[in-house]
């Protein structure tokens, strides 16, 4: 750079000296110098248009490349995708009103359509207490299920528990905590058997504990009885789901209870049965329940 500058300076100096020798006026020298500068500057001009052309060409390229996108025919959903969307919507509509009562979705609503089980079931089926009640539809669905089991030769069920009022359920929880203050500290790591009233399905009138003559209490060996196996296989047909499955205790927060069945209606029970999910996971797969739904609908 320095060499070039020095070289140009020498050349310019040499040229000036020769012009002076030739007797040309200073003004002419200035004019020549200006002309030279203009020509030198002019050399840069070609780079201008080339830049412009590169810009315009890039604009052209981008506009060309964007054209096919806008005019491209975007393929619509395939028929199988449309069918999947339709099925999802159907499942969503069926499940959106299913009550979820658990540790994260406390329920404060009491059922207003309780009926006595003895009135619905008569004397054909064994009920542990004559005061047992269930919500109307749940009671009749239970009768339909027990009738079907009878037709399959199973007549030894015992209804061990049904609706429990809030006060009773809460006393179970409080008594449990009195014995062990850490009980229920982390139900997802250490699932519980007793829950507070707000998390209890028995307070909704939609759940039953159904055992049998050979295993009349809620113990783990019940799951191996023919009665428990029949329920596990068939309960969904009558609108019931096994509410606390063995592989979902980390989601439900409740221990595996092969005797606890929850009424959700036949369509939803079928959907849940086919999904293989517990109620929480199934509802979540549909984006349910909507945020704070329980707060709005069940707050005291």
Query: Three-state SS string across the chain, please?
Result: CHHHHHHHHHHHHHHHHHHHHCCCCHHHHHHHHHHHHHHHHHHHCCHHHHHHHHHHHHHHHHHHHHHHHHHCCCCCCCHHHHHHHHHHHHHHHHHCCCCCCCCCCCCCCCCCCEEEHHHHHCCCCEECCCCCEEEHHHHHHHHHHHHHHHHCCCCCEEEEECCCCHHHHHHHHHHHHHHCCCCCCCCCCCCECCCCHHHCCHHHCCEEEEEECCCCCCCHHHHHCHHHHHHHHHHHHHCEEECCCHHHHHHHCECCCCCEEEECCHHHHHHHHHHCCCHHHHHHHCCCCCCCHHHHHHCC
Binding residue for Zn ion, selected from 133, 164, 205, 209, defined by CB under 5 A: 209
Q: Which is nearer to Zn ion, 261 or 286 (CB)?
A: 261
| Residue number with CB closer to Zn ion (194 or 285) | 194
Q: Which stretch binds Zn ion (CB under 5 A): 19-27, 85-93, 169-177, 207-215?
A: 207-215
What is the x/- site pattern for Zn ion, positions 41-60, by CB under 5 A? --------------------
Give the residue with the Cβ less far from Zn ion, 124 or 193.
193
Residue 271 found at the interface with Zn ion (CB under 5 A): no
Tell me which of 260, 273, 277, 279 binds Zn ion, using CB under 5 A: 260
The answer to whether residue 257 is catalytic is yes
Q: Does 253 bind Zn ion (CB under 5 A)?
A: no
User: Of 83, 144, 246, 257, which is the active-site residue?
Assistant: 257
* Stretch binding Zn ion (CB under 5 A), from 34-42, 149-157, 184-192, 205-213: 205-213
Please say which residue, 206 or 286, places its beta carbon nearer to Zn ion. Answer: 206
Enumerate the active-site residues: 257
Task: Point out which residues bind Zn ion (CB under 5 A).
Answer: 209, 260
């Amino acid at each position: 750079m320095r060499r070039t500058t020095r070289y140009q300076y020498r050349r310019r100096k040499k040229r000036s000296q020769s012009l002076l020798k030739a007797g040309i006026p200073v003004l002419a020298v200035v004019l020549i110098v200006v002309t030279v500068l203009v020509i030198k500057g002019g050399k840069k001009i070609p780079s201008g248009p080339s830049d412009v052309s590169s810009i315009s060409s890039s604009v052209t390229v981008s506009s060309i490349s964007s054209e096919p996108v806008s005019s491209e025919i975007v393929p619509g959903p395939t028929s199988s995708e449309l069918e999947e969307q339709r099925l999802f919507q159907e499942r969503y509509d069926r499940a959106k009103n299913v009550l979820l009562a658990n540790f994260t979705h406390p329920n404060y609503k009491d059922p207003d359509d309780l009926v006595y089980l003895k009135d619905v079931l008569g004397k054909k089926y064994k009920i542990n207490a004559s005061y047992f009640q269930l919500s109307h539809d749940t009671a009749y669905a239970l009768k339909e299920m027990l009738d079907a089991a009878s037709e399959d030769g199973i007549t030894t069920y015992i209804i061990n528990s049904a609706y429990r009022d809030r006060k009773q359920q809460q006393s179970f929880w409080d008594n449990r905590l009195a014995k062990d203050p850490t009980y229920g500290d982390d139900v997802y790591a250490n699932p519980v058997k007793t829950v507070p009233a707000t998390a209890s399905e028995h307070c909704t009138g939609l759940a039953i504990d159904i055992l049998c003559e050979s295993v009349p209490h809620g113990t783990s060996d019940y799951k191996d009885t023919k009665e428990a196996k029949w329920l596990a296989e068939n309960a969904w047909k009558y609108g019931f789901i096994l509410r606390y499955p063995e592989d979902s205790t980390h989601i439900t927060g409740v221990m595996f209870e092969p005797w606890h069945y929850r009424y959700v209606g036949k369509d939803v029970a079928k959907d849940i049965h086919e999904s293989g999910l517990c109620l929480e996971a199934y509802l979540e797969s549909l984006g349910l329940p909507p945020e704070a739904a329980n707060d709005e609908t069940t707050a005291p």
